[in-house]
Amino acid sequence: MQVNELTQKECREILSRATVGRLACSHQDQPYVIPTYLAYDDGWIYVFATFGRKIEWMRENPKVCVEIEEVAAQSQWVSVIANGRYEELPEPQFAQERAHARNLLEKRHHWWINALAERRMNLPDQAVEPVFFRIHVDSVTGLRGETSGGA
């Protein structure tokens, strides 16, 4: 098993293909990590979520870390870690960015956007308040693990 560093270009390519990842935020040095649907485009990771603890925490502390994996087998994988900053996309000032995020995410997660729309019809709006946000990727690193020589 060999573990080697990925180039910046490889990291960005893996981000571009990703549809899910794990988003870590922190509040008073208590970390919190959750899985999330996402879409990367041109330096930004776009996310669509419902209001909850992570949104509260990121509003207070915008420093976040996102982890992406592609796992072919237990000994054949890549992992990319992106450090960045949370930026919320409220209406109306971010209408264009919201439309862009929605477009990118719908391509990957059509069912999810629809599911949320259905939930909103059945529940008080506050309970499932949708939040669009994006993360500016300040730095990215990655590793590739693979078994050498078919071992």
Nearest to 131 by CA among 35, 81, 56, 64: 56
Residue with tokens 């509003």: 59
The mark string for 64-103 relative to a second copy (x by CB under 8 A, - otherwise) is: xxxx-x----xx-x-x-x-x--------------------
Number of residues that bind a second copy (CB under 8 A): 32
Least distance (Å) from a second copy to the CB of residue 29?
A: 5
Q: What's the min distance (Å) between Cβ of 61 and a second copy?
A: 5
Q: Which of 74, 75, 99 is nearest to 89 (CA)?
A: 99
Q: Which residues contact 100 (CB under 8 A, 6 or more apart)?
A: 41, 46
For a second copy, the binding residues (CB under 8 A) are 1, 19, 22, 24-35, 61, 63-67, 69, 74-75, 77, 79, 81, 83, 109, 111-112, 115
